[in-house]
Amino acid sequence: MHRIITFVAGTVLGGGVIYAVSRTGKQPTAVPAPMQFERRATPGDNTDNEFLKHGYPGPVSDFMLRSRYAASYNRALRNPNWVAEHLTRDNLKGTADRANSEFKEDKDIPAMFRALLKDYYRSGFDRGHMCPAADAKKDTESMNDTFFLSNIAPQVGKGFNRNYWASLETFVRDLTKSFDDVYCISGPLYLPEKQGDKWFVNYEVIGDPPNVAVPTHFFKVILAKRNNEPAFAIGAFALPNKEIDNDTPLTSFSLPIESIEKAAGLTFFDKVERKVGVVAPLCSKIQCTLEHDAWKKKRNPK
């Protein structure tokens, strides 16, 4: 069981903000408990006028509250806008096995806006988790929830979803060894690249007919807290959706959180004041390095 609420929100298309989060993987530079199912539209006072007398067109996003994550789904792009998690040493424990779960269409999304299993068939892209299956070993229901296509976006397989991105997921889980509470928000980006003297946002759309947008980049924004320290640690990373060499430092994808907010049209952790003494850079608190293939060792211990 889970809760899903439909609410009015802007479509995330990205923008000309993080110009230098390049497809080459070079150093980026910033510029400028489960509930009963429910659905309701909340346009507020937007329809109380003569122009919208016969209905509010949107855009509309679908909000999902599930056992191990909350998420917002983008109906136009058929991808999540964002997926939010809270990780602790205790809630990562469990024995649920992803081998017993299957990818599935989210029937709580209206059919005409739904990502479909057939969209991914022979697309050349992996079905990439935003909330990783390995974060939901609590029980079978939690694990199954991560396989809804509303938690999935098309990712390059070799060198990204199966490698660098998986290592980043392990890095986030391992933060619970150093912090008592770790909050992570993951999602897609659609960023411009320069062609000649102009900037363009170009992305593939998979499916037949075309249905699901392929993000150019993915982000993870992290807020971590130790009980014995007053300040939060905060970090933000944006990675190109392409094969990334394992020798590429994670810090080369680190960006000011404001850059990702502006590109995505989102606001992260706005209840935490961003000033010295309240927040500190994550990579000043821990070493921001990836242990590649560690996730494989944990999944298949000898």
Residue 182 CB neighbours (<10 A) = 24
CA distance 142 to 132: 11
- The owner of tokens 């411009």 is 192
Question: Are residues 77 and 214 in contact, defined by beta-carbon separation less than 8 angstroms?
Answer: no
- The DSSP symbol for 118 reads H
Give CA separation, 57 vs 25, 49, 63, in Å.
39, 14, 17
> Which residues form the catalytic set?
129
Give CA separation, 276 vs 64, 144, 242, 279, in Å.
34, 40, 35, 6
Q: Give just the sign of the alpha carbon dihedral 76, 78, 81, 84.
A: positive
Question: Are residues 237 and 223 in contact, defined by beta-carbon separation less than 8 angstroms?
Answer: no
Question: Are residues 80 and 74 in contact, defined by beta-carbon separation less than 8 angstroms?
Answer: yes
CA distance 143 to 165: 19
Q: Phi/psi class of residue 252: alpha, beta or left (left: φ > 0; alpha: ψ in -120 to 50)?
A: alpha
CA distance 166 to 161: 6
Pairing of strands 279-281, 232-240: parallel
Q: Which two tokens stand for residue 189?
A: 């980006």
Q: Which two tokens stand for residue 291?
A: 């242990």
Which runs of E-coded beta strand occur in 132-216? 152-155, 181-189, 193-195, 198-200, 205-206, 212-213
